[in-house]
Amino acid sequence: MEESLTLQQEFGECEICLETDVQLYGITGGTCTHSFCLMCCTDHIVAGVREFKDIKCPKMGCEAKLNG
Ligand SMILES: [Zn+2]
Ligand SMILES: [Zn+2]
């Protein structure tokens, strides 16, 4: 699997778990600019890969696809 996470080098609020002051990762290949903490990114991608689903941006309501 191609590496699809990029380190944003910034701290802020994760859009999924709403944890504050976490290091944020953006997901490249998508069309949005949402960013999430590493744990949420990994959980989401691992789940998507395991189920052979299209991986979309984990942000609720965002339909940006992350894997082509
Ligand atoms: Zn999170
Ligand atoms: Zn998004």
pTM for the structure as a whole = 0.71
User: From ligand 2's centre to the CA of 27, what distance in Å?
Assistant: 9
Share of the chain residues as helix, strand and coil, in percent rounded to the nearest 5: 20, 30, 55
Query: Domain range holding 33?
Result: 1-68
Cβ atoms within 10 A of the Cβ of 4, count?
16
**Distance between Cα 21 and ligand 2 center (Å):** 20
* Cβ atoms of residues 36 and 24 within 8 Å: yes
pLDDT tens for 19-28 read 999 998 876 6
Is 6 or 49 the better-scoring residue by pLDDT? 49
- Total domains, the chain: 1
Residue 18 has pLDDT above 90, yes or no: yes
